[in-house]
């Protein structure tokens, strides 16, 4: 049996654009602008644009640099 807390086990590995934008309080247009400027790193997977949980946490704690 794992010692990891249940909440950690349920944390997503990546977010889709709309849920991340809602969480971050930005529009999808702003999100894609930051991608084009190289300020947000994304994952392309099966035609989807995803943002890793680690990248999302970085942005939400440090901001876009």
Q: Indicate the CATH number of 11-62 among 3.30.43, 1.10.10, 1.10.3470, 3.40.640.
A: 1.10.10
Entry pTM = 0.77
Residue 65 pLDDT level (bands cut at 50, 70, 90): confident
Q: In the prediction, which pLDDT does 8 show? A: 65
* Residue that wins the pLDDT comparison between 64 and 13: 13
Domain boundaries, the chain: 11-62
Distance CA 41, CA 51 (A): 7
CA angle 48, 58, 36 (to 5 degrees): 50
pLDDT digits (tens, 9 = 90+) for 2-47: 565 656 668 899 999 999 999 999 999 999 999 999 999 999 999 9
């Amino acid at each position: 049996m794992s010692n990891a807390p249940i909440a950690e086990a349920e944390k997503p590995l990546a977010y889709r654009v709309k849920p991340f934008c809602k969480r971050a309080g930005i529009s999808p247009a702003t999100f894609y602008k930051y991608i084009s400027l190289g300020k947000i790193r994304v994952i392309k997977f099966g035609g989807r644009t995803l943002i890793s949980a680690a990248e999302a946490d970085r942005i939400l704690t440090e901001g876009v640099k």
